[in-house]
Amino acid sequence: MVTIEISNQQKILELNEELYRLFREITAKAGEMEGRNQGEVSFALVDNKTIRELNNKYRALNQATDVLSFPMDGELWGDVVISTEQALAQAGEYEHSLKRELGYLIVHGVLHLLGYDHKTDDDRRKMRQQEEEILKELNLARNREGMN
């Protein structure tokens, strides 16, 4: 079984059971599709100021981003940090639900923990294909109804 922990460090989005279920389902589906049915993932939900500080500290990029991943080993898959402020802005920009945007950020972060990357065009295609397959399996295709 894959277990998750969510640390809510922001005041932009209220956490509810639907959101917790979204995190659990996406993490479990990503693990299942990668043959990893055991593990632990820690999520932190933050604002743009916090994620900008982390991005600057760990990637030397002094700007906000949407998601950061910090892989570990074995059953400790690692940590995923998501800016809910950035997620909300991107949902509007891409004209889809906040639920779909959060779903994408969750799966993107978890796939990084599982060894995916997007440094080359080929890697980017493989990762994007896996992201969309997982989202499709969970009925989170683009422009679907969800949390607004």
Q: List the CATH number of the domain containing 12.
A: 3.40.390.30
Tokens representing residue 46 in the block: 């933050």
For residue 56, the enclosing domain spans: 2-137
146 in any annotated domain:
no
Instruction: Place 77 in a pLDDT band, splitting at 50, 70 and 90.
Output: very high
What is the rounded average pLDDT of the residues 68-89? 97
Q: Which residue has 């632990």 as its token pair?
A: 40
Instruction: Place 141 in a pLDDT band, splitting at 50, 70 and 90.
Output: confident
Radius of gyration, CA atoms only, the chain = 14
| Cα dihedral 116, 20, 54, 97 in deg (nearest 10) | 80
143 in any annotated domain:
no
What is the rounded average pLDDT of the residues 105-110? 98
Would you give the distance in Å from CA 29 to the centre of its chain? 13
Are the C-beta atoms of 51 and 43 separated by less than 8 Å? no
Q: Is 91 helix (H, G, I), strand (E, B) or coil?
A: helix
Separation between Cα atoms, residue 72 and residue 128, nearest integer Å: 22
The pLDDT of residue 105:
98
Residue 111: is its pLDDT beyond 90? yes
What is the rounded average pLDDT of the residues 29-35? 95
147 in any annotated domain:
no
Pair type for strands 76-83 and 39-46? parallel
Number of domains, the chain? 1
Q: What percent of the chain has pLDDT over 90?
A: 91
Tokens representing residue 116 in the block: 């995916």
The pLDDT of residue 10:
97
